[in-house]
């Protein structure tokens, strides 16, 4: 992750390979599952195992392989300037952009996202809550609560959400929300 501040503009860049460890494991496991399924389907093991076994095993392998490629090929850029926040996601060069006016942002939420690889640190996600009730994910896979809180603080300042404090939502103990 790279954070750049140029005058009043805040830019965050999350490169495409940021989840390379877990993505590599998913790709290797997916290829292994497809290979095993192929060998079972074409070999003599079909006399012992039901025909659905290689199909299910191969299907699971394809899902794992696709998920791994999606993790590696996913990049993200967030830019806050000119009264709006722009969130650009790219997957293998194909982009999608969201543009949200800063006046519409009500709060920034920090939630648990999973664990990072290889040291199994908790990873967190940042979401914007808009005045019309939408939740927009800014970023995910931030390793550690301190990094997530620091990034949320930077975003809060850039978005003009000065009067927020840290609170834990009672209905969801895994969620930390910055509220006015």
Q: Among 57, 72, 87, which residue terminates a domain?
A: 72
Residues 31 and 109 in one domain: no
Type and span of the H or E element at 109: strand 105-115
Residues 6 and 87 in one domain: yes
How far is residue 26's CA from residue 20's CA, in Å, rounded to a whole number?
A: 10
Residues 32 and 121 in one domain: no
Residues 10 and 77 in one domain: yes
Domain hosting 105: range is 2-16+73-179
Residues 36 and 105 in one domain: no
How far is residue 139's CA from residue 142's CA, in Å, rounded to a whole number?
A: 8
The per-residue pLDDT for 170 is 42
Indicate which CATH number applies to the domain containing 145: 2.30.29
The per-residue pLDDT for 1 is 72
The list of the chain residues with pLDDT below 70 reads 44-50, 116-119, 162-180
Q: What total of structural domains would you count in the chain?
A: 2
Strands (DSSP E) along the chain, which ranges? 2-6, 9-14, 74-81, 84-91, 94-101, 105-115, 122-130, 135-143, 165-168, 175-179
Residues 10 and 31 in one domain: no
Residues 110 and 98 in one domain: yes
Residues 149 and 68 in one domain: no
Residues 7 and 27 in one domain: no
Residues 77 and 123 in one domain: yes
The per-residue pLDDT for 172 is 52
């Amino acid at each position: 992750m790279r954070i750049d501040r140029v005058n009043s503009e805040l830019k965050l860049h999350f490169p495409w390979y940021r989840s390379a460890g877990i993505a590599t494991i998913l790709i290797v496991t997916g290829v292994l599952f497809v290979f095993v399924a192929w060998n079972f389907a074409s070999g003599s093991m079909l006399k012992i195992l039901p025909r659905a076994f290689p199909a299910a095993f191969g299907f699971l392998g394809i899902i794992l392989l696709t998920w791994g490629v999606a993790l590696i090929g996913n990049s993200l850029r967030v830019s806050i300037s000119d009264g709006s926040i722009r969130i650009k996601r790219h997957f293998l060069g194909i982009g999608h952009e969201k543009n949200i006016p800063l006046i519409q942002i009500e709060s920034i939420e920090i939630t648990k996202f999973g664990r990072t690889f290889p040291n199994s640190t908790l990873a967190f996600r940042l979401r914007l809550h808009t005045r019309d009730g939408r939740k927009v994910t800014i970023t995910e896979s931030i390793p550690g609560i301190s990094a997530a809180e620091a990034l949320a603080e930077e975003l809060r300042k850039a978005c003009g959400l000065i009067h927020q404090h840290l609170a834990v939502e009672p209905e969801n103990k895994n969620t930390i929300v910055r509220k006015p």
